[in-house]
Structure 1
Amino acid sequence: MERISRYVPLGAGGPQVSALGLGCMSLSGAYGAGDDAEGVKLIRSALDRGVTFLDTADMYGWGRNETLVGAALAGRRGEAFVATKFGYVRGEGDALLINGRPDYVFRACDASLTRLKLDHIDLYYQHRVDPDVPIDETVDAMGQLVRKGKVRHIGLSEARPETIRRAQKVFPVSAAQTEFSLLYRVEAQETLETARELGIAFVACSPLGRGLLTSAAPSSAGIAGDRPATHPRFSARNLARNLELVDRLAQLAKAKGCSPSQLALAYVLAKGAIPIPGTRRLARLEKNVEALDVALSEQDAAALEQAIPADAAAGERYPPDLLAKACL
């Protein structure tokens, strides 16, 4: 099994990470029941291939995912660059709330370190911006974690460009993460440009449109019961439209001699982003890694953008309650 040889700096002058990372959310129940033992095997297989950039969060499985990642890293800490996130908390009736208060930032970090069994976190994101707490206060607390040695770098997830700029004045931000794919790229474009300007890494979550941009795109029935089933893009009406767009991608991928998912990832890579596709299957991990070998010219990228216009996707990225928490 060959190891990848493509690495990029995490922002201007930052540490080297694999040009393609592994999103670990799907290993802990977000896309159907997870198997921790299989999840550990998958993460270790990713490390074997040289995929160093692992992405998790304290709300993925409410701690379970961080525990799984920690187990996978036993004896292999030096091979991984670990990113995790804080911010989401459970309220009454399991309502999703956001907490960006400094005292919570410190508690959340300690809890994540315990679950991950690490003495420091390589990249610590605020998962969502707390609208009730000035970003200056949250980021100052994150900076204190860096000074204490508990965190190496900080990042913001689903933050507006103006929020990123404001945060950057308080403490250096190393990475900005948001959803970015051929299907959903309108909202991310300004963030991507802001990241380039400020020398910040842009990390693309859901680079395969939550499974839509693959050779085995899901049906409404196939995702019933899974968390993504609540996303508007998967409603019967929207899904039919989105699968028409996927068919266009498949035709271009066939001409290119690769799979639709590989072409979709190659597009994200060509835009200077670090994609972090998630999967629970080793075969899919292998396919994703092979996307690094797909050469994409400017003409190829333009053809993709013409086939799938920026505003062509049907359905918002999130259901209303989650959409209200994104991009603050």
Structure 2
Amino acid sequence: MDTRQLSSDGPKVSEIGFGGWAIGGGWGGTNDAESIRALNVAIDRGVNLIDTAEGYGDGHGERVIADVLKSRAEPLFVATKTPPAAGPWPPSPYCRWQDRYSAAYLRDNVNARLRNLGIDRIDLLQLHTWTRAWNDDPQPLLVLRQLRDEGKIGLIGVSTPEQDQDCVIQLMRNGLVDVVQVIFNLFNQDAAAQILPVAAETGTGVIVRVALDEGALAGKYAADHLFAEDDFRHRYFAGDRMSRTVERVDQIREDVVAFGLADDYTLADVALKFALSRPEVSTVIAGMRTVEQVEQNTRTSQLRDLPPEMLTRLRRHNWRRGVWYSGK
């Protein structure tokens, strides 16, 4: 597994990270024993960054990861996330940070993350969402600095709200975050405009999420595929979203065939390699809950980089779907 630097002051991390949402819940039924096997195989294959959150099964994902951490001797980098207190998600422009990320709330929540993970220090604590309404008075991030000074957390990060990812640019330029977690994939390439260049300028680490567009870019869904109602993707691909998505995935498949790469690269490989093609990206977290998924996603690191002309061709799949229907 190849590694990359996570921020100017951060460690070397595996360029494919373990995305822990599915092992916590929200993606249909989970099997903890299978999740633990998958996580151990990922570590055996060189994955050293594990990403989770309170919201992944109300801390269940963190507790599953804690079981694995106890049994492994090698150094692992664990990132988790603190959600805002109850209210709109993402926070509205009228939300006050005092109501969503107060100092007392942050301290209590970070202590809960530590207990769930069974550790004394969180390598990376990310606020799970944000609003630019707080950019000029970013007190929650200053509270995290205090917690860092107390030894409870290492790096500080923010996971971007989907509809306003650029809200973190000011935070990066002001030196308030060490890491940002962003959506960057074949359909959503907006981070290439400013977020990635500013990350290079400021030495900010970049964790890419949703590189496979919740599995769609792996090419494994048919146009009429339906998910169970307890699966997050049931809402994500509601209405005609799946059929529209599959139509565009088929166009990507045609490009892979045209460039003669279909024998060596799966669609998932191409999607992950596209995200990794940017040097500003520190790691791409792929959701994994089975050994088969681990084997598929980790193999990508050992494949040759995509040819520059292929990367240029793939840019045409940028899909400004916004809230899905603005780009229909």
* TM-score interval, smaller chain: 0.7 to 0.9
Are 1:195 and 2:211 matched, yes or no? no
**Do 2:185 and 2:210's aligned partners in 1 also have CA atoms closer than 8 Å?**
yes
**Do 1:220 and 1:236's aligned partners in 2 also have CA atoms closer than 8 Å?**
no
Cα distance in 2, alignment partners of residues 235 and 199 from structure 1: 38
Cα distance in 2, alignment partners of residues 317 and 140 from structure 1: 35
CA deviation profile, 1:83-122 (whole Å, cap 9, x unmatched): 000024456xxx7686222221111110000000011111
Q: Which has the higher contact order (CA 8 A, sep 6+)?
A: 2
Are 1:215 and 2:219 matched, yes or no? yes
SS in 2 for 1:275: strand
**Do 2:90 and 2:130's aligned partners in 1 also have CA atoms closer than 8 Å?**
no
Cα distance in 2, alignment partners of residues 203 and 143 from structure 1: 20
Are 1:229 and 2:234 matched, yes or no? yes
Alpha carbons of structure 1 residues 211 and 147: separation in structure 2 relative to 1, 3 Å:
same
- Residue 44 of structure 2 corresponds to which residue in structure 1? 48
SS in 1 for 2:218: coil
Aligned mate of 1:301, from 293, 304, 311: 311
Letter in 2 for 1:183: F
**Do 1:203 and 1:276's aligned partners in 2 also have CA atoms closer than 8 Å?**
yes
C-alpha displacement of 1:262: 0.5
Aligned mate of 1:83, from 79, 90, 99: 79
Cα distance in 2, alignment partners of residues 293 and 167 from structure 1: 31
- Residue 17 of structure 1 corresponds to which residue in structure 2? 13
CA deviation profile, 1:131-165 (whole Å, cap 9, x unmatched): 77565201101111111111111111106445443
CA deviation profile, 1:260-300 (whole Å, cap 9, x unmatched): 00011000000232210102221121111111123212212
SS in 2 for 1:74: helix
- Residue 266 of structure 1 corresponds to which residue in structure 2? 273
- Residue 292 of structure 1 corresponds to which residue in structure 2? 301
Letter in 2 for 1:268: A
Alpha carbons of structure 1 residues 252 and 281: separation in structure 2 relative to 1, 3 Å:
farther
Cα distance in 1, alignment partners of residues 84 and 29 from structure 2: 21
TM-score normalised over the length of structure 1: 0.85
- Residue 325 of structure 1 corresponds to which residue in structure 2? none
- Residue 324 of structure 1 corresponds to which residue in structure 2? none
- Residue 279 of structure 1 corresponds to which residue in structure 2? 288
Alpha carbons of structure 1 residues 290 and 189: separation in structure 2 relative to 1, 3 Å:
farther
CA deviation profile, 1:306-326 (whole Å, cap 9, x unmatched): 3x1x235x56379xxxxxxxx
Cα distance in 2, alignment partners of residues 133 and 50 from structure 1: 38
Alpha carbons of structure 1 residues 191 and 288: separation in structure 2 relative to 1, 3 Å:
same
Cα distance in 2, alignment partners of residues 62 and 109 from structure 1: 14
Aligned mate of 2:27, from 15, 28, 31: 31
C-alpha displacement of 1:130: 5.4
Alpha carbons of structure 1 residues 51 and 80: separation in structure 2 relative to 1, 3 Å:
same
Letter in 2 for 1:126: L
Alpha carbons of structure 1 residues 189 and 168: separation in structure 2 relative to 1, 3 Å:
closer
Cα distance in 1, alignment partners of residues 151 and 197 from structure 2: 30
SS in 2 for 1:104: helix
Letter in 1 for 2:267: P
Mind listing any 5+ residue stretches in structure 1 that lack a counterpart? 319-328
Cα distance in 1, alignment partners of residues 189 and 117 from structure 2: 32
SS in 2 for 1:79: coil
SS in 2 for 1:276: strand
TM-score normalised over the length of structure 2: 0.85
% identical aligned pairs: 26
Greater shift, 156-165 or 178-187, is seen at 156-165
- Residue 174 of structure 2 corresponds to which residue in structure 1? 169
Mind listing any 5+ residue stretches in structure 2 that lack a counterpart? 92-99
**Do 1:85 and 1:124's aligned partners in 2 also have CA atoms closer than 8 Å?**
yes
- Residue 204 of structure 1 corresponds to which residue in structure 2? 208
Are 1:111 and 2:112 matched, yes or no? yes
C-alpha displacement of 1:13: 4.0
Letter in 1 for 2:310: D
**Do 2:126 and 2:158's aligned partners in 1 also have CA atoms closer than 8 Å?**
yes
